[in-house]
Chain A
Amino acid sequence: DAGVIQSPRHEVTEMGQEVTLRCKPISGHNSLFWYRQTMMRGLELLIYFNNNVPIDDSGMPEDRFSAKMPNASFSTLKIQPSEPRDSAVYFCASGDGTKSYNEQFFGPGTRLTVL
Chain B
Amino acid sequence: AQSVTQLGSHVSVSEGALVLLRCNYSSSVPPYLFWYVQYPNQGLQLLLKYTSAATLVKGINGFEAEFKKSETSFHLTKPSAHMSDAAEYFCAVSDLDAYSSASKIIFGSGTRLSIRP
Contacts and interface: CB of A to CB of B under 8 A. Distances in A.
Interface string B22-59: 00000000001010000000111110010100000000
A114 B91 CA distance: 30
* Interface residue SS majority, chain B: strand
A98 B102 CA distance: 7
A55 interface: yes
B103 A31 contact: yes
Interface residues of B, number: 22
Contacts of B103: 31, 97, 99-100, 102
Contacts of B106: 45
Interface in B83-115: 90, 94, 96-97, 100, 102-107, 109-110
B60 to A, nearest CB: 12
Contact of A103 (B42, B46, B110): B46
Nearest to B33: A101
Contacts of A107: 43
B43 A103 contact: no
A93 B90 CA distance: 15
B97 A56 contact: yes
Interface residues of A, number: 25
Given A45-B104, A55-B100, A101 B94 contact: yes
The binding surface of chain A is classed by DSSP as strand
B26 to A, nearest CB: 16
Contact of B102 (A48, A104, A105): A48
Nearest to B94: A100
A106 B102 contact: no
A72 to B, nearest CB: 14
Contacts of B34: 103
B102 A103 contact: no
17 contacts: A4-B43, A43-B90, A45-B104, A45-B106, A48-B104, A50-B100, A50-B102, A55-B102, A93-B44, A97-B103, A99-B103, A100-B103, A101-B49, A104-B105, A105-B46, A108-B43, A109-B42
Interface of A: 4, 31, 33, 42-43, 45, 48, 50, 53, 55-56, 91, 93, 97, 99-109
